Amino acid sequence: MNIYIRHTTCDDVAALPALERAAGERFRDDPDLAWLAEGEVISAEQHLGYAERGLSWLALANERPVGFLLAEAHPSSLFIVELSVDLAWQGKGIGRQLIARAADHARKVGLTSLTLTTFRDVPWNAPFYAKLGFEYVTELTPELREKREEEAAHGLAYNSRCAMRLPL
């Protein structure tokens, strides 16, 4: 298996909403979260903004897109907005490679951590990130507080989610 991670280009963005949808199929395994498999995905136009800012990375397997990571810069951290890996390619280390690339970028621009919000009890969410060294955040920065409030406004139960941080 030949996996290659690179910055997302403008030519890549049209394929990314379908890739996010394919990654979301995993939520069908959890009856309480199955609705997410049909939920909204990030539009190609939104992906283009991340790509233009240099905050989108694409994983390719045999030159075919199989995963991506979107991020935004916060005052001291790089916030992972979305990490999606096609269901057929999950469990092969692609998510880890995308996170490593984002961490490299964060270090280069002087940020001291990666942060994210995720489901607390979904095995491929918080437990996955904890294995990579992410720690649960109890004292939320204003930016993380805003992210948690946005999630609740979009129907995600507040107590089912958590914020995590990986010191760099």
Domain limits of the chain? 3-167
Helix axes 16-24, 44-52, angle to 10 degrees: 110
- Measured CA to CA, the distance from residue 88 to residue 99 in angstroms comes to 19
**By C-alpha distance, which of 147, 151, 161 is closest to 118?**
161
The edge-to-edge listing of strands for the beta sheet with 113-119 is: 3-7, 56-61, 64-73, 77-85, 113-119, 161-167, 135-136
Q: What are phi and psi of 66, to 5 degrees?
A: -130, -5
Q: What does the pLDDT read at residue 151?
A: 92
- The answer regarding whether domain 3-167 maps to CATH 3.40.630.30 reads yes
Amino acid letter, residue 26: R
Residue at token pair 């990490």: 83
Give Cα 137 distance to the centre of its chain. 17
**By C-alpha distance, which of 101, 157, 72 is closest to 148?**
157
Asked whether 94 and 48 are in contact (CB, 8 A), the reply is no
Quote the pTM value: 0.95
Q: What are phi and psi of 41, to 5 degrees?
A: -120, 165
Q: What does the pLDDT read at residue 2?
A: 86
The 10 Å Cβ neighbour count of residue 53 is: 12
Q: Which residue ranges in the chain fall short of pLDDT 70? A: none
Q: What does the pLDDT read at residue 53?
A: 97
